[in-house]
Amino acid sequence: MKKIQGNDSLQRINYLYQISKKVVEKNPVLSAYYGNLAVNVAKKNVLKIHPDIKRQLCKKCRCVLIDKKSAKVKIKTKNKAKHIELTCNTCKMTKEYPANKGKSHRLWLENPEAVVEIVN
């Protein structure tokens, strides 16, 4: 069985993310603190945070963005292209993601050719 480098740190990042998600409704500042800790752990150990987790963190305050709890979600159209816009309730920072139905806007990690080896 292979040992994954930084496994303890990845578990800690996951735990901090889960706590941040639970706390966000009652105390968004504490949620931002836990999100910031998770990002700092990843930076210190030179690890990449999973893109799904990265998408849910505000870039400015690191609070978890959840619809109607800590963020406002809008669907906007620009030049015949749809975008999902998330606005953080804590710091008012906005994030945009493409949301076209016909086009494939997937991350490289979501493509099947990105998988080299599956570790169990």
Extents of the domains making up the chain: 7-114
pLDDT at res. 85: 92
Per-residue pLDDT for 1 more than 60? no
- pTM score: 0.78
Terminal C-alpha separation, the chain:
8
Comparing 64 with 79, the larger pLDDT belongs to: 64
pLDDT in tens, 82-96: 888 999 999 999 999
The whole-number average pLDDT for the span 7-33 is 94
Q: How confident is the model at residue 116 (pLDDT cuts 50, 70, 90)?
A: confident
| Model confidence at 79: pLDDT above 60 | yes
**Sign of the C-alpha dihedral, residues 21, 26, 31, 32?**
positive
The mean-pLDDT minimum among 19-23, 27-31, 80-84 falls in: 80-84
Please give the pLDDT value at position 112: 73
